[in-house]
Amino acid sequence: MDRLEANRNYDCFCGNGIASEFVAGYILEKFNLGRTDLTPFKVAIVSDRQVSGYYYNQFESQFLIRNIKPQLICCEATESSKSLKSVHDITFDLTEAALGAGDWIIALGGGGVLDCASFAQAVYGGGAGLILVPTTLSSMAESTVADIAYLNSGKYKDAVRTEVSPEAVFVDPSFLKTVPSKYKNNGFAPIIRLAVLIDTDLINGLITEGQDFRIFLNRVYSARSRIESKNPQLLTLGSEIAHAIEGYFRFMNYSEGQALALSLYSCMPEAGRQALGAIYAKLGLPTKLEGVAKSMIMKSLDSILDRKGEGPFSVVDYDNGKWAIRSLDKASALGLFSERLDIIC
């Protein structure tokens, strides 16, 4: 088990098998002050049906041998159901289980599960601690180092948010072996965004087989940290069109990663777009938006900007050979988005 250099104020570990072997031991060692078991501590494991079907029994066993029976809280945490209703259902179960200070909420799943569980822990009044166990590339690369949990509302992406503060993260690469094929490329786009902004060699990490995953993740986190120290707003590159695509389809037709991949492709200058197109072909990412007219996405973008106020609006754009933040009025912002949509529509 190795520590990841996540540049966060909590522990972040990486290693094959650590999720089912070290989480309970970590709680016992760090927070249970030398007790030989976890009693009377309570543990609630928040997961979705698919992940829990694969891993729950194996994950649960480390607690059972310490004389505690975790409670499994199943939630629907796809993008289309990552909502306040899901959080309400989780907090209801936490209340019924009477979790309180010194007890633990463990989020086991992809980004939707981590967001919903983290949000529930943040608003739940019991004071239980939070541990994140991501099971997808996207959640390992992004959700584990995010200091905010996001929920969607209706057709609006990330409309509800709250600050979160986990005690620890356990990144287990062995989970990636069972990610369904239709979701495997969902985690590529956030890493491609980091590559485009600051470290193009990250692309090789997505394509190369048999690499050291810990080294790769450390590089991902390092790139994110460098961008944050430069200007965190750069991490919004491509978000506007991606959110409009997801929202138009009510988070159904295009995954979060596919929508972002399309938007990033549209943001690139022509030379970079040609190179990125070849990479997308290898990774199974789309370069054309299908099933909707450009005018409908423009309408969604107009609505998104209206919700942000009168402007000016900060938009990341490639300018004079580098990525920069442009301050645009609404008409100029929509004009830029229209040019980008012409590339993918």
Calculate ∠ Cα 222-227-228, nearest 5°.
Answer: 95
Contact 124, 42 (CB under 8 A): no
pTM exceeds cut of 0.75: yes
Q: Look at strands 313-319 and 156-163 and give their pairing.
A: unpaired
Mean pLDDT of 32-47: 74
Binned at pLDDT 50, 70 and 90, residue 80 comes out as confident
> 79: pLDDT confidence band, cut at 50, 70 and 90?
confident
pLDDT in tens, 208-218: 866 789 999 99
Neighbours of 200 (CB within 10 A): 13
H or E, element range at 291: none
CATH 3.20.20.140: does it fit domain 2-179?
no
pLDDT digits (tens, 9 = 90+) for 268-326: 999 899 999 999 999 999 999 999 999 999 999 999 999 999 889 999 999 889 999 99
Widest Cα–Cα separation across the chain: 64
From first CA to last CA, the distance across the chain in angstroms is 46
Domain ranges of the chain: 2-179, 193-344
Angstrom distances, CA of residue 258 to CA of 174, 176, 238, 312: 23, 18, 12, 28
Reply yes or no on whether the pLDDT at 35 is more than 90: no
Residue 217 burial (CB count, 10 A): 24
* CATH class for the region spanning 193-344: mainly alpha
pLDDT of residue 41: 84
Assess whether the region 2-179 and the region 193-344 belong to the same CATH fold: no
Alpha-carbon gap, residue 167 to 314, rounded angstroms: 33
